[in-house]
Amino acid sequence: MRYSQMFIPTLKEAPADAQVPSHKLLVRAGFIRQLSAGIYSVLPLAQRSLNKIQAIIRDEMNAIGGQEFHLPALSPRELWEESGRWTGMGENMFRLKDRKGADLCLAMTHEEVFTAIARGEVRSYKQLPQFWYQIQTKFRDEPRPKSGLLRVRQFTMKDSYSFDFDWEGLDRSYEAHRHAYERIFERCGLTFVQVDADTGAMGGKASTEFMVKTDAGEDLIAFNVESGYAANVEKATSVIPAEEDETGPEKPEKFPTPGVRTIEDLEQPPFEVSAKRQIKTLVYMVNGNLVLALLRGDHELVEAKLAAAAGSTDHRPAHPEEIRSALGALPGSLGAVGVRGLKILADHALQGRTNMVTGANEDGFHLRGVVPGRDFTPEWVDLRLVKEGELDPKGQRPLQVAKALELGHIFKLGLRYSQTMGATVLGPDGKESPIVMGSYGIGVERILAASVELHHDDDGILWPMSIAPFQVALLPLQPNDPQVKETTEKLYQQLTAAGVEVLLDDRDERPGVKFKDADLIGLPVRVAVGKKALAQGKVEWKKRDSKEIELKSLDDLQREFAVLGALAGRGR
C-alpha cells in the first residue's frame, strides 16, 4: 500500500481530552476518531489490525470446534423478559421502540438469543456439546465512557457459548476455551494474567478474567507470583492476623458519643477505640430491601461481594432518610444490635470477636461490649476488600495489588439461562434435562488498545508483528532521486511478492517527517532507502523496538523478507 493513497491522518498533538497512552497514540497515529462519548470510528490502519486480531480469534475458536454465527444486534423485549434481564440489565441497555411501539433493545451480550436457538433446535444429548460463537457489535450505555477504546458504548466482541449435557462437559468446554484464550492473547503479543472473578450480571457459578496489567486498567487484581494465586479484588480473599479481644461486659453498654460521625472520630480521645475494635455498619438498598453490611472498622466494603452475598441484581447505598426511618438514627451511630426484620450480613473478620464498639441506633450514642453472634445474628459472608501485603488464602504469601484491564472473561453459566428459558435435551434415560451452558467473551478493540498500552514509547506505538497494520514501513528518503526511487520500487515489488505487507511512504516529504510518522504509526520494521547507504549498495533496516540501524545488502533483505513473509502468511 502506498502512503499517498491511504487515509492516515496523523497529528502532531494529542487531543486535549485524551488521558491514557493508547487513546492519545491511536488518535495521533490516525487509527481512530471519536464520534461521540464512547463511540469511535475505526480508520483504515486500525481496521487492518482489527482484522488480524479477528483472524487470530477465529483461528483459535475454530481450532476448538467453534462454529461461527452472526446474530442480530436488535432484539425483542419478550426474549429478555424470559431471562429476567430486560429489567436486570438496568440502564446499561440501549432500548428503542419500533414504529408499532414494540420494545426492542440493542443486545449487550447474546445468551438469550443463542439459548433461544438451542432450545428450538437441539433436542438430544447426542447433539451436544456445541460451541457457538460470533464476532459482533455490542452496545452498552455505559454510565461513564472513558480512556479512548478502553471503555466505550459500542464495541466488537467475540462471544461464544458452550452447550453441554452435564457439568463435566461444561468443565471440558470451559478448559477448552481457557486454552484457546491463552493462545489468542499470546499470539496477539500480550502479557496477561488469569484471575478468579465475580460473575456479576451474567450469573453463573464461576468465572475467570483474562487481564493485562496496566495503569490504564480500571480493575484491581490481587496476586502472588510464587503461589500462583490471582483474583480480582471483587473476589479476592486473604488471611489476616487474628485480633485478641479482652473480655467485655455481659451485655452491651450504651455510652454517649456526641458529635461522633466516623470511625476516625471514635479513635480520637476521649474514646480511643481502635478501628479494629469497631464494627462498621453500612446500609444498602438491595432489590428494594434494606440490608445491613457489617465490617471491621478499618476494612472496606466490596460492593460486588455484597451484591453476590445478597443475590442482588440492583443495589445502591441507602439514602439517609431511608436509614433513619428504618433504624432510628443517621449514619455515624448505626449498629446491628436490636435490629429486627432486616437482613444482616457480617464479614468473616468479625466472627469470634468480642467486646466490640458499634453505633446504638440513637444519634450521639454508641454501644460497647458488643459480641457479634450473641448480640445480633448475622449471616457470615465475605465482604472485605483485600489489601496489599495481606497473605493469600492458600500459600500464605503476601499479596500484591495492581491495576489491570479486562480483555476476556469466561463464565460457567450452568443452568442460569437454560432453566429460565426452558432449553432442555433428552438424556440417554429419556428424561429432559436443562442444557449446561458456558459463555465466553473477548473485547476485540480492547486487544488493540491493550497492545498499545503495553507496547509504546515517547515516539509512538510498537506493534507486535502479528497484529501490526503492515509489517514493514518502506521509506524512500529522497523520493525524487532516480536511484532511490528505482531501488524502493524494486524492494516494494519483492516484499509484496514475498507476502509481506508494506506501507510505502511515497510522499514527497522530508526524511524527518517520514521518520516521525513511521515511529508514531509503529510498524515493526523500517526499511529506509537513502542516497548515503545506497552508495555502498545497501539500505537501512531498523526494528521499531531497537535503536540500532543495520545496513543490509539487497540479498540480505531477500532472506529477511522470506522470514517476514512466512510470519505474515501464518497470521502471526
Partner RNA sequence: CGGGGAGUGGCUCAGCCUGGUAGAGCACUUGGUUCGGGACCAAGGGGUCGCAGGUUCAAAUCCUGUCUCCCCGACCA
Q: Is 283 in the site for RNA (CB under 7 A)?
A: no
Give percent helix, percent strand, percent coil of the chain, each to the nearest 5. Answer: 30, 30, 40
Locate 431 and state its grid cell: 428424561
Residue 143 binds RNA, judged by CB under 7 A: yes
- Residues between 199 and 228 with contacts to RNA, criterion CB under 7 A: 200-202, 209-210, 218-219
Q: Residue 297 CB: number of other CB atoms within 10 A?
A: 21
Radius of gyration of the chain (CA): 29
- Binding to RNA in span 74-93, by CB under 7 A: 92
Element (H or E) spanning 229, and its range?
Answer: none
Binding test (CB under 7 A) with RNA, winner from 12, 99, 100, 431: 12
Q: Does 533 bind RNA (CB under 7 A)?
A: yes
Q: Which stretch binds RNA (CB under 7 A): 70-78, 300-308, 375-383, 488-496?
A: 300-308
Distance CA 537, CA 424 (A): 71
17 touches RNA by CB under 7 A: yes
Q: Report if residue 517 touches RNA, rule: CB under 7 A.
A: yes
Which residue stretch of 41-49, 68-76, 416-424, 440-448 sits at the interface with RNA (rule: CB under 7 A)? 440-448
How far apart are CB 125 and RNA at their closest, in Å? Answer: 28
Specify the residue for cell string 440493542. 106
User: Residue 15, interface with RNA (CB under 7 A)?
Assistant: yes
Judged by DSSP in three states, 78 sits in: helix
C-alpha pair distances (Å), 59 with each of 62, 211, 239, 570: 5, 21, 42, 11
Return the range that interacts with RNA (CB under 7 A); candidates 222-230, 248-256, 509-517, 552-560.
509-517
Task: Output 20 or 367, the one with its CB closest to RNA.
Answer: 20
Per CB under 7 A, contacts with RNA among 232-271 are none
Contact stretch for RNA (CB under 7 A) within 260-268, 339-347, 419-427, 534-542: 534-542
Interacting residues of 506 by C-beta distance below 8 A, sequence separation 6+: 2, 3, 4, 476, 479, 488
Alpha-carbon distance 138 to 107, whole Å? 6
Helix or strand (DSSP H, E) at 216: none
Give the residues across from 338 on adjacent strands.
none
Give a three-class secondary structure readout of 258-293.
Answer: CCCCCHHHHHCCCCCCCHHHEEEEEEEEECCEEEEE
Q: How far is the CB of 186 from RNA (least distance, A)?
A: 16
Question: Measured from the CB atom, is 367 or 477 closer to RNA?
Answer: 477
First to last CA, the chain: 20
Which CB, 186 or 219, lies closer to RNA? Answer: 219
- Interaction of residue 319 with RNA, rule CB under 7 A: no
Please identify, using beta-carbon distances, which residue of 301 and 371 lies nearer to RNA. 301
Residues 146-205 that bind RNA (CB under 7 A): 146-147, 151-153, 155, 157, 198, 200-202
The answer to whether residues 158 and 134 touch, using CB atoms and an 8 Å cutoff, is: yes
Within 100-139, which residues bind RNA (CB under 7 A)?
109
Between 219 and 362, CB nearer to RNA: 219
Looking at the Cβ atoms of 2 and 531, the one nearer to RNA is 531
For the bound state, the minimum distance from the C-beta of residue 509 to RNA, rounded and expressed in Å, comes to 7
Nearest-angstrom CA–CA distance, 373 and 388: 29
The DSSP symbol for 551 reads: E
Cβ atoms 332, 219 nearer than 8 A: no
- Residues 191 and 226: beta-carbon distance below 8 Å: no
What track of x and - describes contact with RNA for positions 479 through 498 (by CB under 7 A)?
-x------------------
# chain residues binding RNA, by CB under 7 A? 72
- Work out how close the CB of 101 gets to RNA at its nearest, in angstroms, rounded to a whole number: 23
Q: Measured between alpha carbons, how far is residue 40 from residues 36, 142, 171, 447, 511 in Å?
A: 7, 14, 37, 15, 32
Taking alpha carbons only, the member of 373, 437, 449, 363 closest to residue 406 is 449
Q: Which of 107, 337, 528, 568 binds RNA (CB under 7 A)?
A: 528
**Residue 140 sits in the site that holds RNA (CB under 7 A):** yes
Piece of the chain touching RNA by CB under 7 A; list 33-41, 55-63, 94-102, 387-395: 33-41
Task: Verify binding: residue 520, RNA, rule CB under 7 A.
Answer: yes
Contacting residue, 13, 244, 272, 321, with RNA by CB under 7 A: 13
Question: Minimum distance between the CB of residue 498 and RNA, rounded to whole angstroms?
Answer: 23
Rounded to 5 degrees, what are φ and ψ at 542? -140, 135
Ranges within 441-480 binding RNA (CB under 7 A): 441-443, 445-446, 459, 477-478, 480
Output 176 or 286, the one with its CB closest to RNA: 286
What is the per-residue DSSP string for 125-187?
A: GGG--EEEEEEEEEE---SS-BTGGGB-SEEEEEEEEEEESSHHHHHHHHHHHHHHHHHHHHH
Q: Which of 33, 38, 74, 41 is nearest to 153 (CA)?
A: 38
In the complex with RNA, the residue whose CB is nearer, 118 or 157, is 157
Q: Which is nearer to RNA, 263 or 407 (CB)?
A: 407
Q: Does 54 bind RNA (CB under 7 A)?
A: no
- Closest approach, Cβ 229 to RNA, in A, equals 20
8 Å CB contact between 193 and 236:
no
User: Taking contact as CB under 7 A, which single stretch among the options 164-172, 369-377, 418-426, 508-516 is the one that binds RNA?
Assistant: 508-516
Applying the rule CB under 7 A, the residues between 324 and 383 that interact with RNA are none
Nearer to RNA, 301 or 367 (CB): 301
